[in-house]
Every structure is written in C-alpha cells, then in structure tokens.
Structure 1
Amino acid sequence: MRLLIDGYNVMYALGLLGKRLGPDGFRKVRTRFLNDLADALGAVEAHLTTIVFDAADPPADLPHATTHKGLSVVFAVDDENADERIVRLIAEHSSPRTLTVVSSDLHIRRAATRRKARSLTADAFLAELDARKRRKPVEPATRDRDPDRERAPAPEEAAYWLNEFRDLAESPETRDAFERTTGIPTDAEIAEIEREVEREDGSGPWPGRSDSRASPRWVLDEGGGPVV
C-alpha cells in the first residue's frame, strides 16, 4: 500500500455529499467516485491504493473489504469509524515513509506525521490529480504519409514479382551481361557493327577484308599507337 485515502472526506471535498440522497442514490454516487478515482490514478497506482469508508451503509452484498478497479476498498465495520481504521493502518504499515495519507482530518494527519508518512489534505490531493491530468503527454501528430508507398504487397503480388525477377536473373542474356569483366567488344559484336555499317552505306566489306568477320580496321603497333 502506497496511498491511503479517507474516502468520504475526499467525496465531501468534491461536493458529492451535500445532496440529500437515498440509499440507492448514495451507493451510485460512491461507485461513480471510485470509478473516477481509479481512472485518475491509473491501473498501477490503483493497485497500490486503499480507500476507507465509514461503516454506515456498506453494500449489503459485498464483504467489508473488497476491490474495485484495482482499488482496495475497506468499510470500517470493526472500528468506531473510518478515522480509527486509517490510524490503525498507518500504525501497522511496514514502511510508512513510502506511504501517502489523504485526509483533511487533523487526527489522521497527526498520525501520519508521527510515522513520517506524507500527509495531504483532500483539496491538495485533488489538486495533484488535476495537475497530473494537465501534464499528461499528448501523442505527437503523425506526418502525412502516402499509404500506397507504405502498403505491403499482397502475398500473390509478391510471388508474381519474385517469379518475374527470377526469370530475368536466370536468362542467358542477363548472365552474359553480368559475366563480362571489361568494356571491350567481342568479335561477334564487332562483326555485327560492321554488318550494320555495310547495310547503311552499301559499301560492302571494309577495304582489305574478305568478309565482315575480319579484324578491326586498325591494329596496335609495337609502341601502342594505332596503325590504320
């Protein structure tokens, strides 16, 4: 237990006890208060919180100690009132320096101070809850995104493209292109170029060559320069 709350004291500070309510109306108001308190604290802190109510008008169908949305709820049936139960819980706490006690009752606040527990009035506690709500981080705005660019391909679409690229990668033309290690044209490519030129100018085979498969028009001399 890290938080010990005087239930009706906080409900009074919220203005929930100033109305004339029948038994059913009173129980509904108390349940709504517990719902709001659990939501304000959050799931983790709610499980570390005990809230004590006077024994007057406890729920008939519930035990004197129960839970509500993680909150430990105690009805002080075996004590004179909620104040006495809270003082006893403070005295029995194994690590009171980690305990926060919420009540505007002076008797309870003194009991908390004696054991070095933190003491808050009901108004101070409610102010802390309001401040915490205002400090709650806001989710950052997401950037505009192109859903088409981020859309993952459907399985059948992915399979289609994998198959297309696999066929391309395995084709003889693709393998031949990647296996070449230099930019020097092959004899077959040179012969094809010569045939293209012959078809364009109608000059026939180049001078000095009997067919289009002959060597290029120039060769390198011993000094590395071209000899035409």
Structure 2
Amino acid sequence: MRLLIDGYNVMFAQGLVGKRVGPDHFRKARTLFLNKLSDALGPLEAHLTTVVFDAATPPHDLPPQSRHKGMTILYAVNDEDADQRIEMLIAAHSAPKTLTVVSSDNRIRQAATRRKAKVLTADLFLADIESRKRSPREVPPPPNPEKARGQTLSSSESAYWLNEFRDIEEMPETRAMMGNEMGFPTDAEIAEIEREIEREFREGKGNHRGK
C-alpha cells in the first residue's frame, strides 16, 4: 500500500456528498468517486491504493473489504469510525515513509506525521488529481535490451523512474535482501562504479571497431 485515502473526507471536499443525503445517494456518489479516482490514478497506482469509508452506509452487496477497479476498499464495520481504521493501518504499515495519507482530519494527519508518512489534505489531493487529468503521466515502455545499448534515458524517463524507486531504501524487502549491516553505497562508491562502467563501455566500443 502506497496511498491511503480517507474516502468520505475527500468526497465531502469534492462536494459529492453533504450531511443530509440518503443511503442511495451515498452509494451512487461513492461509486462515481471511486470510478473517477481509479481512472485518474491509473492501473499501477490504483493497485497500491486503499480507500477507507465509515460503515454508516456500507453497500449491502459488498463485504467489509473488497476491490474496485484495482483499489482496495475498506468499510470500518468493526471499528469506531474510519479514522480509527486508518490510524490502525498507519500504525501497522511496515514502511510508513513510503506511505501517502490523504485526509484533512487533524487526528489522521497527526497519526501519519508521527510515523513520518507523507500527508496531503483532501483539497491538495484533488488538485493533484485534476492536474493529472490535464497532463496525464506517461509510463515509459519496458526497455529493449538490444536497442538500449549505448543509449541513455530521457529526462522525463529518468524523473519517472527516480520517483517510482525513491523509497526503495525504506522497503523492508530491500533491507532484508541487502542486509542492514551492508548498507547502501555512498556517493563516492556510486561515482566510482559509474566510472568503471564508462571505462568498460569505451573499451568495448574500441574492441568492436577493431574487429
């Protein structure tokens, strides 16, 4: 999970629901919200997104946990409210620095800040979604090893992949694989590796010309 959303909090900010609406309106508005959200996020990010709703008006035909267009949808049926469920999810997250929590609720924002998760208000998140609609982010295609020899990534491709993997050091899977005692290479070590690769590349081109 990379994105944790306080569902009704964002829906209220978007103006989809008010305080005096019936269950049918809630269900229709919720479905509309989830459809638009999934479309804006795209399939990859939607798969890493969890949306939590209060259980006052859960759909009768859905369990407390379900999937909607790739996203995980939770209804706080056995909790005091959605805030409590979100707090529990934040507390249980194995790599909170990789998590973005979306809510304008102070209680949730404080819980996220304590665990050093990123926090966005509902308004800021909605503004980000709107900007994605105007300028959708393109995912670079998988590299072709044969065509990629001697080529470098464009600035947009580099920015995309740096953003995607910026939190890799915090992932527990990475730490388990690398071992905490090994640590990650320093800037000087990375620079030396890059120089070695450059030397091998130049030597390889020279040998290729000599054939």
Does TM-score exceed 0.5, indicating one fold?
yes
Instruction: Tell me the equivalent position of 1:106.
Output: 106
Secondary structure of the 2:63 match is coil
Higher helix share: 2
Change (3 A) 1:60 1:115: same
Change (3 A) 1:99 1:26: same
**Distance change (3 Å), C-alpha of 1:102 and 1:137:** closer
Letter aligned with residue 136 of structure 1: P
Question: Are residues 49 and 30 of structure 1, via their aligned partners in 2, closer, same or farther at CA, if it must alter by over 3 Å?
Answer: same
Structure 2 length-normalised TM: 0.63
**Alignment map for 1:19-58 (pairs within 5 Å):** 20-58=20-58
TM-score by length of 1: 0.58
Structure 2 distance, partners of 1:136, 1:128, is 11
Aligned counterparts of 2:60 and 2:124: Cα–Cα separation in 1: 32
8 Å contact from structure 2 (residues 26, 57) kept in 1:
no
Shift of 1:130: 1.5
Deviations 1:82-136 (A, max 9, x none): 0000000000000000000000000100110110100000001111111222222
**1:137 Cα offset (Å):** 6.5
Q: What is the distance in 1 between the residues matched to 2:112 and 2:123?
A: 17
- The code of the aligned residue for 1:48 comes to L
Report % sequence identity.
Answer: 67
- Aligned twin of 1:135: 135
Structure 1 unaligned residues grouped into runs of 5+: 139-228
1:188-224 alpha-carbon deviations (Å, 9 max, x no partner)? xxxxxxxxxxxxxxxxxxxxxxxxxxxxxxxxxxxxx
CA contact (8 A) 2:52 2:75 kept: yes
Structure 1 Cα separation of the partners of residues 20 and 78 of structure 2: 27
User: In structure 1, what is the Cα distance between the partners aligned to 2:44 and 2:137?
Assistant: 17
Higher relative contact order (CA 8 A, sep 6+): 2
Q: CA deviation at 1:17?
A: 1.3
SS of the counterpart of 2:94? coil
Amino acid paired to 2:37: L
Q: Distance in 1 between matches of 2:19 and 2:85?
A: 26
- Using the alignment, how far apart are the partners of 2:110 and 2:4 within structure 1? 14
**Equivalent residue of 2:86, what SS?**
helix
Amino acid in the other structure paired with 1:116 = K
Cα-to-partner distance string for 1:133-190 (whole Å, 9 max, x where unaligned): 222269xxxxxxxxxxxxxxxxxxxxxxxxxxxxxxxxxxxxxxxxxxxxxxxxxxxx
- Determine the structure 2 residue equivalent to 1:3: 3
DSSP-derived class of the 2:30 partner: helix
Q: Tell me, which stretches of 5 or more residues in structure 2 are unaligned? A: 139-211
- Larger Rg belongs to: 1
Instruction: Answer yes or no: is the 8 Å Cα contact 2:7–2:53 preserved in 1.
Output: yes
Question: In the alignment, residue 103 of structure 1 is paired with which amino acid?
Answer: S
Q: What is the root-mean-square deviation in Å for CA atoms of aligned residues?
A: 1.4
Q: What number of residue pairs does the alignment pair up?
A: 138
